[in-house]
Amino acid sequence: MRLILLGAPGAGKGTVAKLLTQIDGSVQISTGDILRGAVQAGTELGKQADAYMKAGDLVPDDLIMGIMETRLQEPDCAKGFLLDGFPRTIPQAEALKVLLNKLGIKLDVVANIEVPREEILNRLTTRRTCSNTSCQAIYNVRSNPPKVAGVCDKCGSPVIQRDDETDEAISKRLDTYFEKTAPLIEFYRQEGLLLVVDSPASEGVVDAIQQRIAAGA
Ligand code: AP5
């Protein structure tokens, strides 16, 4: 499958993407995970992105498009891809459209995961993430804790709170989402690709996406 997952910070994009990868081997491409990996590795990209991320701001579009132009042409994307956290602005969406046309790739669906703001705040303050950048498994101390507190079930690395999970950064990320990313909902509605999903369970979101893809196939 080839799809975009839209939604506010904490809507569950990463959780749903990980479930979808188990269905047909499509790869999850999370720009947030790529950037956190670059920050931890201390690469030039990571140095440029770090301050934006800690403050809850978006990383500049040209840096993101540089990453994605390369990533989408890697061989594993031939099986399908789930874009998690990209595009995030209208210029990114327009650049992606040009890139996909050039590569001859059609998207199946753009799923917007809708979650009430109060629930989003709950989820973000209780989320924990595996600190191993090649794992980045997602947990929640309330709804999905690791089996051993503080230890990743999958790779045994410490499970931590992200640098952008301070109250100040969460509030800034939500403001940035409504200003810069929410307009993508209308963009993709006009492209005829939008699916709005408001299931409270991630499995319900996955089912709705599969049904839409099956109906369109
Ligand atoms: P990114 O990593 O993309 O963060 P985000 O969009 O803010 O999304 P999150 O990862 O916070 O949430 P999510 O929707 O994936 O939810 P999750 O599944 O974890 O980006 C981070 C930063 O990188 C940005 O602020 C920006 O600086 C930069 N960046 C990234 N991409 C960029 C781009 N394209 N352009 C510019 N800058 C970019 O779930 C959240 C929690 O809820 C978890 O604890 C989970 O267990 C729990 N949960 C999930 N689903 C459910 C459910 N159904 N019921 C109960 N709990 C649930």
* Domains annotated on the chain, with CATH: 2-216 (3.40.50.300)
DSSP state of 131: S
What would the pLDDT profile of 126-149 be if each residue is shown by its tens digit? 999 999 999 999 999 999 999 999
DSSP state of 81: E
CA distance 1 to 23: 9
Contact criterion met (CB below 8 Å) for 184 and 100: no
- Give the pLDDT band (50/70/90) at residue 167: confident
173 labelled catalytic: yes
Binding residue per annotation — 87?
A: yes
pLDDT at 14 over 80: yes
Cα torsion through 166, 169, 170, 172, rounded to 10? 160
pLDDT attached to residue 216: 80
CA distance 121 to 113: 15
pLDDT at 163 over 90: no
Phi, psi at 128, each rounded to 5°: -130, 150
Q: What is the pTM of this model?
A: 0.94
Top mutation candidate among 4, 5, 15 for ligand 1, by most atoms within 8 Å of CB: 15
Q: In residues, how long is the chain?
A: 217
pLDDT at 124 over 80: yes
Q: Hey, how many other C-beta atoms are within 10 angstroms of the C-beta on 167?
A: 10
pLDDT attached to residue 166: 87
**Rounded average pLDDT over 80-92:** 98
Residues enclosing ligand 1, CB less than 6 A? 7, 9-15, 31-32, 35, 52-53, 56-59, 64, 85-88, 92, 123, 127, 138-140, 143-144, 164, 173, 200-202
- The residue among 71, 56, 45 whose CA lies nearest residue 37 is 45
CA distance 83 to 11: 14
pLDDT at 217 over 70: no
Nearest Cα residue to atom 21 of ligand 1? 32
**Rounded average pLDDT over 73-95:** 97
AA identity, residue 143: S
* Beta-carbon contacts of residue 155 (< 8 Å; ≥ 6 apart): 130, 132, 135, 137
13 labelled catalytic: yes
